[in-house]
């Protein structure tokens, strides 16, 4: 019973990073890592890729939480 816009906002607030695992070169590997921005843009969740295959290091993750 949650509207789509509210569900997207909840997702953007709750999830910091998305990691995709898949098959590359006949092995399971990290396919990509994306940071999730906490605010929607135009009603859509915004992702920034911080890692892709072939890169040596994970990019900076700028999202921080205060407790």
Q: Could you give the percent of the chain with pLDDT greater than 70?
A: 94
Question: Cα angle at 32 between 24 and 43, to 5 degrees?
Answer: 140
What is the rounded distance in angstroms from the CA atom of residue 35 to the CA atom of residue 58? 11
Q: Helix, strand, or coil here: 22?
A: strand
Tens-place pLDDT, residues 13-52: 999 999 999 998 899 999 999 999 999 999 999 999 999 9
Q: Looking at the chain, which runs of residues are DSSP E strands?
A: 17-24, 27-36, 47-51
With cut-offs at 50, 70 and 90, classify the pLDDT of residue 65. low
* Phi, psi dihedrals of residue 18, rounded to the nearest 5°: -115, 130
Is-above-0.85 flag for pTM?
no
């Amino acid at each position: 019973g949650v509207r789509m816009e509210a569900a997207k906002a909840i997702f953007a607030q709750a999830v910091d990073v998305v990691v995709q695992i898949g098959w590359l070169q006949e092995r399971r590997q990290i396919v990509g890592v994306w940071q999730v921005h906490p605010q929607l843009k135009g009603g859509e969740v915004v992702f920034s890729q911080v890692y892709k295959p072939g890169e040596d290091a994970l990019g900076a993750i700028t999202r921080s939480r205060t407790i």
